[in-house]
Amino acid sequence: MTRKRFFNYLALSEIVIRGWPRAIVVALAVICLTLVTRPVARAATFPPGFSETMVANGLPTPTAMDFAPDGRLFVCLQGGQLRVIKNGSLLATPFLTLTVNSSGERGLLGVAFDPNFMTNNFVYVYYTATTPAVHNRVSRFTANGDVAVAGSEFVLLELENLGATNHNGGAIHFGPDGKLYVAVGENANPANSQTLSNRLGKVLRIDSDGSIPTDNPFFNIATGNNRSIWALGLRNPFTFAFQPGTSRMFINDVGEVTWEEINDGIAGSNYGWPACEGNCTPPNANFRDPIFRYAHGSSATTECAIVGGGFYNPTTVQFPASYVGKYFFADLCASWIRVLDPSNNTVVDFGSGAGLPVDLKVASDGSLYYLSYLSQAVFRVQFTGTAPSIITQPSNQTVTPGQPATFSVVASGSTPLSYQWQRNQVNISGATSSSYTLSSAAFSDNGAMFRCVVTNSFGSATSNEATLTVNAPPSITNHPADQTVTQGQPATFGVVASGSPTLTFQWQRNQINIPGATSSSYTITSTATSDNGARFRCVITNSFGTATSNEATLIVQPLPPALATEPNTDIAVALNSVTLFRDPFPLTDPFNFSSDNRTRVMLFVTNLTLLPNEGASAVTARAEDAQMNVYPLTVEYAGAVPGFDWLTEVVIVLPANLPTGQSVLVSVTWHAQTSNKARIRIR
C-alpha cells in the first residue's frame, strides 16, 4: 500500500501513483529539478501591512529551525549540517555536521535548546544515525560559541531501527515542565502507532539527560524505554509547538490522503491513526479527534502536509494585538501560511507563496520566521503597517459667495488610504478624496467646519476642523412693505438682510437719512397727514458692501371731519343759519356774501386741516331731507378759523330746491372721509 511521504518532492512517483492531475505532477517535477541545483526566486504575499525579508539563503534541503535563547537561529539541513544564523547572517561554519542517513525523509530533522542553555550550552538534535543500523537518535551537544564542542555528543535516545525511509517525525521541544518532548513518525507502518511496544508513531517525554519521568502516562503500563511514550496514535508528527506561558501544546500530524490535523497535545491521548484520519467517523471515545483539520485538494491550492507550528506569544508583540495567542501553521505543498484561533478553532489565511515551507517560528521580537524548502532560505515576516497620521491639516478658507472653497489633507500611513470628509462632523456623501471642494459657497455656508477622516487597515486619523468663512456683502431678503394707516396710528417699516457681520442699518425718508433710525425696523409712533405719501427705505452696510432696500410708501388716512354740534344733540353749530332749531340769527341777517339771495350757512368742522394750497374745492357737502333725498351743496368757502387753527369753517350755499319747513342733515367730505351728519332747520 502506497502512503504519502512527507517529502513528496523527493519522491514524486508517489504523487503519480496517487493519480494527481498530470499538469500538477509536471509542475512539481520542474520545481524538484530546480531544487537540485539552485533556489527559486519567489515572493510571498501577506495581509496588508505585512512584509517579508530574506534573512539568509544557501540552506539546501532544510528541515527545521529554532531560536536559541540568545537569539541565534539554528537551521537543520537534511544532510546533517546544523547551521547558525547570527545577527542576520548565516555563519559559514556549521555548528555541527552529523553523519546521517538522508534517504527519503531521513536526516537531521530537529533541534532544541536546553531551558538552561544560557548556563549549560546544551543543544539537542534529532537525526537519523547510520550505525549500528539505521535509526533515529536524539543527542545532546555542548556549544562553544557558534560551534559544538568536539566529542561533546551525549546520546539521550536511540529509537527503533528503521524500515521505510519516510515518516520519521523529528520535532523536539522542551515543554514548560522542563521535559524534552520528541515527536516520532510511525515509519510507514501504521500498526506502530497503536502499540505501546515501540516508540514509533508517538510523542515521547524524557528528561534532559534521557531518563524517563515516572509521571509519564504509560509509565506503569509500558515497559523499558517505551515508558517514555506520552501520546500515541500519530502518523507523522513532523512538527509541534508549545504555547509560551501556558501548558498548551499543538501537534501537527501529517495525514495520508485525506486530512491534515492539528491536535491538542494532552498526556495519554490516542490520536486515532490508523483507525481514523481526521475525525473518527463515527466518533470513537478511545481516540482524540483533531481540534482542526483540513482536507487535501487538487487545485491551485493543493495541500498535502501540515508543517510549522508557532504560537504568537512573543516577548515583544510586533504584529497587531489581534494575533496574540493565535497559532501559525503552514502547508508544504500549497505554500500557504494560516492562523488558527485556539479560542474557537477557526482558521484564516495569512500568507501565500511561501515557497514550500517546512517550518515556521515566532521570534521573541515578534516577527514570524519561516523556512522555505524551495528558496533554501529563511524569511522573516514583520508587520510594517502603520495607521494613518495627518501630516498636513486642512486650513481655514475665506471666500465670497459663489466662489469655490477647497479643503485638503495630507496623511501618511500604509496604503491604501481612504478618505471621508465631514461637514460639521457629518459625512459628506461622495467626498472621499484627499481634498474636498465646495463648488459654490453661499453665505449660508459661513462658519461651516470641515474635517477629514483618513482610514486604512490599521486604524484611522481625524484631521483638525477647518472653518469656512464666506465674506458676503449685505443681501436683502425681505424688503419694507407699503403701509396704510389712519392718522395718529403708528407705522412700522422692517427689512431683513443677510451678510457677514456686522450689518449696520440706516433708514431714509424720501432718500434722506433719518437720524437715529439705525435698526432693522423703523417706527413712526403717531402718523400725521403730513406723513402721507412719504417714502421709506433702508441702507444696509457691512465691510464688504452696501444694499439699499426698495422704497415703501406710507399712506396716512386722515380722521373723518367732525361737524360741531350742540352739546348732546345733532344740531349743527352754525352761523347765519336759516331758522335753526334755536334760530339764533334772523333771516334778514345781512351776512350774505353775494347777490344771489341764497342762504349761506357757516359750519364749524374739526379734523379738517386743509393742506397747503387746499381751499373750498377740497371740500364737498350735501344735505339729506326726511325722505332721504340728497341735495349737493355748494361749498363756497373753507378755511381755518382765525385764532383757532384746529377749527375749520365751511360756508355752504343752500340750493333753491331745498324743502322748507323742516330740518335736513348736512355733512361734509374731505379726502374721501365724510363727517357726521348735523341737523339744520329750513324755515
> Under the rule (CB under 5 A), what is the footprint of Ca ion?
271-272
CA dist 48 and 36 (Å) reads 34
Residue number with CB closer to Ca ion (233 or 351) = 233
Is residue 570 within 8 A of residue 680, CB to CB? The reply is: no
Residue-by-residue DSSP string for 635-649: EEEEEEETTEEEEEE
Q: How far is the CB of 278 from Ca ion (least distance, A)?
A: 7
For residue 655, what is the DSSP state?
-
Residue number with CB closer to Ca ion (271 or 419) = 271
CA dist 533 and 555 (Å) reads 5
Is residue 621 within 8 A of residue 635, CB to CB? The reply is: yes
Q: How far is the CB of 270 from Ca ion (least distance, A)?
A: 9
Residue number with CB closer to Ca ion (272 or 474) = 272
Residue number with CB closer to Ca ion (277 or 445) = 277
Residue number with CB closer to Ca ion (152 or 284) = 284
Residue number with CB closer to Ca ion (191 or 630) = 191
Residue number with CB closer to Ca ion (246 or 286) = 286
- As a 3-state breakdown, the chain gives helix, strand, coil percent values, each rounded to 5, of 10, 40, 50
Q: How far is the CB of 258 from Ca ion (least distance, A)?
A: 11
Residue-by-residue DSSP string for 154-166: EEEEEEEEPSSSS
Q: How far is the CB of 3 from Ca ion (least distance, A)?
A: 15
For residue 354, what is the DSSP state?
-
Residues in Cβ contact with 640 at an 8 Å cutoff, skipping those fewer than 6 apart: 609, 610, 647, 648, 649
CA dist 137 and 135 (Å) reads 6
Residue number with CB closer to Ca ion (52 or 260) = 260
Q: What would the grid cell of residue 305 be?
A: 502536509
Residue number with CB closer to Ca ion (291 or 555) = 291
**Amino acid (one-letter) located at 524:** I
CA dist 6 and 21 (Å) reads 19
Residue number with CB closer to Ca ion (110 or 272) = 272
Q: How far is the CB of 276 from Ca ion (least distance, A)?
A: 6
Q: How far is CA 103 from the centre of its chain?
A: 57
Q: How far is the CB of 279 from Ca ion (least distance, A)?
A: 8
Q: How far is the CB of 283 from Ca ion (least distance, A)?
A: 13
Q: What would the grid cell of residue 58 be?
A: 544557501
Q: How far is the CB of 235 from Ca ion (least distance, A)?
A: 7
Q: How far is the CB of 192 from Ca ion (least distance, A)?
A: 14
Planar angle of CA 451, 453, 459, nearest 5 degrees: 155
CA dist 20 and 299 (Å) reads 10
Residue number with CB closer to Ca ion (287 or 458) = 287
Q: How far is the CB of 114 from Ca ion (least distance, A)?
A: 30
Q: How far is the CB of 120 from Ca ion (least distance, A)?
A: 36
Q: Which neighbouring-strand residues pair with 504?
A: 541
Is residue 443 within 8 A of residue 401, CB to CB? The reply is: yes
Q: Which neighbouring-strand residues pair with 96?
A: 82
Q: Which neighbouring-strand residues pair with 249?
A: 242
Residue number with CB closer to Ca ion (168 or 335) = 168
Strands 466-470 and 397-399, how do they pair?
parallel
Residue number with CB closer to Ca ion (255 or 342) = 255
Is residue 185 within 8 A of residue 128, CB to CB? The reply is: no
Q: How far is the CB of 185 from Ca ion (least distance, A)?
A: 13
Sheet holding 180-184, edge to edge: 172-174, 180-184, 202-206, 229-232
Residue (of 620, 641, 626) closest to 679 by Cα position: 626
Sheet holding 292-295, edge to edge: 239-242, 249-253, 259-264, 292-295
E strand or H helix at 23: helix 22-37
Phi, psi of 193 (to 5 degrees): -65, -30
599: Cα within 13 Å, side-chain hemisphere: 24
Q: How far is the CB of 290 from Ca ion (least distance, A)?
A: 6
